Amino acid sequence: MTLCILAGGKALALAVGTFTLSWTHSVQHTTWWERWEVTGTGLRPVEARVTSAGAGMEAPPDAILEPDGWHYFPKLPLQREVFLAASGATLGGWTLCAEGACREIGATEGAPIRLWVAPGCDG
């Protein structure tokens, strides 16, 4: 399957099995990181890390504190699509990494970024 990304009016197709998302919280200025699995029917969050708590960034009770932050396994169901805000009011956009390459998306104000899985990325 293909990870489809619609950002800034442009579509991008990535043939990947997993990807990561990271961003800096606009108030706390700490990093949040997530690893996602691309399946035939959607996107599954499989691992997450937050470097510190505060301002809506509390780690769940079962999170484990490691030197680089609180690690946990999200208890969310498979997602058919994911939308990421693009407010332009944060310290940067989202960093999406897959297959050894990273790209910043949503750094400027605009429509939300859409992520979904499809055989082709035409809608």
What pLDDT score was predicted for residue 2? Answer: 92
Q: What is the DSSP string of 19-63?
A: EEEEEE-TTT--EEEEEEEE-SS-EEEEEEEESS--TT-PPPTT-
Could you tell me if residue 57 is inside a domain?
yes
Q: How much is the pLDDT for 25?
A: 73
- The whole domain housing 78 covers 2-118
- Domain tally for the chain? 1
pLDDT of residue 89: 66
Decide the pairing of beta strands 18-24 and 31-38: antiparallel
Question: Considering only CA atoms, which of 67, 73, 36, 35 is closest in space to residue 52?
Answer: 67
Hey, what are 63's tokens? Answer: 């999170």
Give residue 92's pLDDT: 78
H or E stretch including 83? strand 81-84
Q: Residue 74 domain-assigned?
A: yes
Q: What is the pLDDT of residue 54?
A: 66
User: Is 110 a domain residue?
Assistant: yes
- Tens digits of residue pLDDT in 37-62: 999 999 999 999 988 776 666 788 89
Residue 123 belongs to a domain: no
Low-confidence ranges of the chain (pLDDT < 70): 26-28, 54-57, 88-91, 122-123
Does residue 63 lie in a domain region? yes
